[in-house]
Structure 1
Amino acid sequence: MDAIAARHGALLQPSIWMRFRFLLIGGSVLLYFVFCWWFFAVGQVLGSANWAIAGTYLADWVSYEIRPDIEIEADGGMKIVYPRFDPIGPNPNPDWLTSERATVTRTIEIPGSAQSAAPKSVSSFSFMAPNATTETATQARTEVRTEEVVTKATIAMNASDRIIVTPDVVEVHRGNEMISVNLDAGRAINQDPLPSWAEQRRPGEKIVLAFGFSGWAEIRDDVVKIHKRFLGWEGFFFDTSSLYFGKSWSELLGLLVSDQRLDPAQSNLSLAVNDVLYNPSWQHLDVWTKLLQTIVMAFVGTLFAMVIAFPLSFLAARNILHNCPVNQLVKRFFDFQRSVDMFIWALFFTRAFGPGPLAGISAIFFTDTGTLGKLYSEALENIDDKQREGVKSVGAAPLAVQRFGVLPQVLPVFTSQALYFWESNTRSATIIGAVGAGGIGLKLWEAMRTNQDWENVGYMVLLILIVVFVFDSISNAVRSRLIGRRSAP
């Protein structure tokens, strides 16, 4: 080796590429990532991102809020108002909101109004308005009323945080910190400086208070808005209008087996099932129906694509059909179908057929026909010709050659790819449903668009995950049954 190296040293010297290839490849990859960081302004995006909002959205998926408003009136009284469809139900009286009340006498001015009255005599006649009525004006009057008003309200956001509201001052205690917000005669909000968990963009505007997972609150000039969060999905089975709302599981079981009916028109079991399926807050029956539409869309679209792509792939394979123009024509047809994304096809067919599952099935069918056709044709072009030649040597017909010489080699690949696309299209059908192609995707988009029903979004996402897991298990079982498993050595 020393003698060879002395005579032909250039042959044993590695090239520059061989010596520095790892350094060059690593440097190129590093430069590419630096370029992407600059081009997409990743640092700026991460710096300006509001991670607190992201955490709040995720918390909303698994929780619900109770939103009482403490309204401060001009005469110094207060009242507690709950939204119409608040999850706490009718006659709310939570233990975390306590109030002190007093009876006051108020003088209320009732403004006058113009009232229409029929004329006392109809002997006179008008061509302009033969049936006209006369208007009588009522004068403004005052009325003295005795009412019970709230003088102080205390909201316990959690074990250590609370808000104390009076007509003039709002005190907020968060851990060891405390701020006092004064409401002066001009109803302006004064507080400076504010801690990190309280935000006020400009003096005089509302103050937003953050309490982590426990919720948040707003202090405005005439109202304190509370958003207290609780873990779970309230009213998931029975909403506030149901006769079963607020009952424990033991009470519910007792009512279901009891002969005494809550509704004379139907049994207690029928009433319970009806209340669950037609729950206006969660809409279980509608959600399950839309989920079934999504499953049918994915299955039918994939099935049609597989049926059409199967024969066309034989025309596109060069080793099966020795006709170059036909091969290229079919392959370009596959390229056309798969070059347009499924989402774009869904928009097109929604315009053509209108919103509904037919548009979704057509979008999946068109896209997957091109993709499966390309994959099938490539699998056919990579078969072993010895098996086909062996069948041909015994004098088999051309159709029998394809049946016994080609299909046994490609059928496991075809089956595996079709099953994978069936799983994938179950997720894709959810996305294209958001543009009007039907299914649970449209329902999911409607819930997200309100920016309030995130617990409904979490519910539908959980259903989609369950369906994907079930289909993955079914796909693996079918694949193992059709293809078979290799026995352990």
Structure 2
Amino acid sequence: MTATMNTMDVRDIEARYPELLTRSFWQRYRTAFAAAAVIAYFIFCWWFFAIGHVISSANSDIAGNYLADWISWEARPDIDIHADGTMKIVFGKYSPLGADPHPDWIEAKTETVTRTIEASPSEAPAQPKQSTSSFSFVQPEFRGDGETSKTAGTEPTTVTEEVVTEAHIMMNSSSWIDLSKDKVELTRGGETLTLTTGGKTMTYDGALPEWAYQRAPGEKIIAYFGFAGRVEVEPDRVKVRKRFLGWENFFFDTNSPFFGKSAGDVISLMFSDNRVDPNQSNLSRAIDDILYNPSWQHLDVWTKLLQTIVMAFVGTLFAMVIAFPLSFLAARNITRNKPLNQLVKRFFDFQRSVDMLIWALFFTRAFGPGPLAGIAAIFFTDTGTLGKLYSEALENIDDKPREGIRSVGASPVAIQRFGVVPQVLPVFVSQALYFWESNTRSATIIGAVGAGGIGLKLWEAMRTNQDWENVAYMVLLILIVVYVFDNISNRLRSMLIGNGRK
């Protein structure tokens, strides 16, 4: 028979035990209080870190250019504008286009002119050749003692040279630059901006479009063409920065005899009997040019990456070897000596309480820059962390196997060997493998402070604020290494844990 409660019974129980059936104020409103606290916290963070101001002042164009620098490169011709309106296209000394660039995206109309150059009383230009190309590299001439050539003469010099009278530069299919006497026309997406050159200030017709910028009236004008690049126009010079997708000269530098050749031509030349260098085979020369490419430094980067891997492996291995016996001293159920337990545990706390980066700075000062400082930093930090994890694993073992081995009169060493180690060894090795995988990433960071490895190389490339394609290259290598070792570590951990369960 089932008893039922009527309304009077319920009220009677409420009267006798109000604390059981009546919800307190906190019980009724704790969800609302928790939600209000979370909202207040986010509002505080928004104010404290000035997130609104940061978002409003962010420049997406700069961020886009920064990201584009990782996957692209720039050709940087400068067009010098002479007083008579003629021009000369100048590439930098280390242009990625080579020593004599004539790119197909620049169309120039040239003519040979004779001009008179007035020499200053204190310094005159060196006598140029009678006929020079309108595409050139400009470098000052030097005397043997390192000073620029000077002359006391004031006689004007008459020279004959090839100059550019008109130029057409394609940025992409819908954007280009047209240069003619005293005028520069910038076209982007059907919109054209006409600029006047040759004077002392920059002037233009109409209003500046959204893709052009001038800081103050008369100053240079910068026009942006999206991913295709940008151009800076001054009264006497036009600086073009044309962007190309990819990494320039990744295999062969401009000084290599294989530079500028197609893949088929390179392979054919590698196995050709006609040597480009009489002292070595073409195949050997090609390999050397790739490994010692001055722009990318492949061999040095790979060597530093190997240093990083070795740093992570050796540092983790030493930490595991030292943490293993010390963890037995720290475990209270293994070593029943409370002062010794506390001493070892505090030693672990001391080692792991200081970040690996700080230890790397310390050991860099102690041992000097190099992989030894990185190995020491990893070893010292991970000894404390692994020691703590190992001791906690030991304190949670099942005592029955140990008691069974002790009951047959086994020695203390045998008790630990056969009663404890089989239980914790898979866990110990699994944790060590995880730290090895993690330290492969950490070794990159500590390398940036002088501890050797690819981290230092990465920091040097970032510090120039120009070689972002090199940064992307090294980051990609690090990602590949981390991915490979992550899979190796996961596979080994799965095997060990599986064997441990069996």
CA RMSD across the alignment: 2.2
CA drift at 1:384: 2.2
Verify the 8 A CA contact 1:169 1:183 in the aligned structure 2. Answer: yes
Report the secondary structure of 1:484's partner residue.
helix
* Displacement after TM superposition at 1:275 (Å): 0.5
2:474 counterpart of 1:469: no
Query: Quick one: which amino acid aligns to residue 434 of structure 1?
Result: A
| 1:5 maps onto 2:19 in alignment | no
- Aligned counterparts, 1:120-135, within 5 A: none
Output the CA distance in 2 between the equivalents of 1:192 and 1:76: 23
Match of residue 232 from structure 1? 246
Kept after mapping to 1: 8 A contact 2:196/2:204: yes
The equivalent position to 2:109 in structure 1, one of 92, 97, 100, is 100
Q: What is the alpha-carbon distance in structure 1 between the residues aligned to residue 236 and residue 396 of structure 2? A: 76
Give the Cα–Cα distance (whole angstroms) in 2 for the partners of residues 372 and 336 of structure 1.
13
Cα deviation for residue 476 of structure 1 reads 1.8
- SS at 1:106's partner residue? strand
> Could you say which residue in structure 1 is the equivalent of 2:274?
260
Counterpart of 2:422 (choices 393, 408, 424) is 408
CA contact (8 A) 1:100 1:152 kept: yes
Question: Equivalent residue of 2:172, what SS?
Answer: coil
**Would you say 1:482 and 2:487 are equivalent positions?**
no
Report the AA paired with residue 381 of structure 2.
T
Does residue 1:84 correspond to 2:93, yes or no? yes
Residues 161 and 175, structure 1, Cα contact 8 Å, conserved in 2: yes
Displacement, 1:62? 1.1
Equivalent residue in structure 1 for 2:397, among 383, 402, 405: 383
SS in 2 for 1:141: coil
Secondary structure of 1:144's partner?
strand
Partner of 2:233: 219
| 5+ residue gaps, structure 1 | 115-135
Q: Tell me the CA shift for residue 463 of structure 1.
A: 0.4
Deviates more, 1:470-479 or 1:273-282: 470-479
Distance 1:327 1:467 in 2: 39
For 1:32-47, list aligned pairs within 5 A. Answer: 32-47=41-56
Q: Does 1:360 align with 2:365?
A: no
Question: Which stretch shows the higher mean deviation, 407-416 or 273-282?
Answer: 407-416
1:357 & 1:41 partners in 2: Cα distance?
40
1:74 aligns with 2:79: no
Q: Secondary structure at the match of 1:476?
A: helix
For residue 214 of structure 2, what is the amino acid of its counterpart?
Q
Change (3 A) 1:192 1:261: same
Q: Which TM-score applies when normalising by structure 2?
A: 0.88
Aligned-pair distance for 1:184? 5.3
Instruction: Give the deviation of 1:485 after TM superposition.
Output: 6.6
Superposition deviation, residue 483 in structure 1:
2.6
Q: Does the CA contact (< 8 Å) of 1:190 and 1:203 recur in 2?
A: no
Deviates more, 1:9-18 or 1:64-73: 9-18
Deviating 4+ runs (over 6 angstroms): 485-488
Contact 2:423-2:500 within 8 A present in 1 as well: no
Counterpart of 1:147? Answer: 161
CA contact (8 A) 2:195 2:202 kept: no
Q: Distance in 2 between matches of 1:316 and 1:32?
A: 40
Asked if structure 1 preserves the Cα contact closer than 8 Å seen for 2:201 and 2:219, the reply is no
CA distance in 1, matches of 2:151, 2:36: 88
Give the match for residue 345 of structure 1.
Answer: 359
- Contact 2:113 2:162 (8 Å CA) reproduced: yes
Q: CA deviation at 1:113?
A: 5.7
- Identify if the C-alpha distance between structure 1 residues 399 and 138 changes in structure 2 by more than 3 Å, giving closer, same or farther: closer
Most deviating of 385-394 and 54-63: 385-394
Distance 1:485 1:69, change over 3 A: farther
Matched, 1:452 2:461: no
Which deviations, in whole Å up to 9, do the C-alpha atoms of 1:272-311 show, x marking residues without a partner? Answer: 1111100011100000011011111111111111111111
Q: Distance in 2 between matches of 1:70 and 1:43?
A: 42
C-alpha separation in 1, matches of 2:427 and 2:38? 34
Q: CA deviation at 1:350?
A: 0.9
- In the other structure, the counterpart of 1:119 is none
Structure-2 separation of matches of 1:342 and 1:98:
56
Q: How far, CA to CA, are the matches of 1:303 and 1:486 in structure 2?
A: 21
User: Percent same amino acid at aligned positions?
Assistant: 67
Give the Cα separation in 2 of the matches to 1:30 and 1:316: 44
The residue aligned with 2:176 is 162
What is residue 327 of structure 2 aligned with on the other side? 313
**Scaled by the length of structure 1, what TM-score is found?**
0.91
Distance in 1 between residues matched to 2:161 and 2:418, nearest whole Å: 92
**Inter-partner Cα distance in structure 2 for 1:405 and 1:42:** 57
For residues 308 and 206 of structure 2, what CA distance do their matches in structure 1 show? 54
Which shifted more, 175-184 or 366-375? 175-184
Which deviates more, 454-463 or 180-189?
A: 180-189
Change (3 A) 1:371 1:486: closer
CA–CA distance in 2 between the matches of 1:167 and 1:426? 59
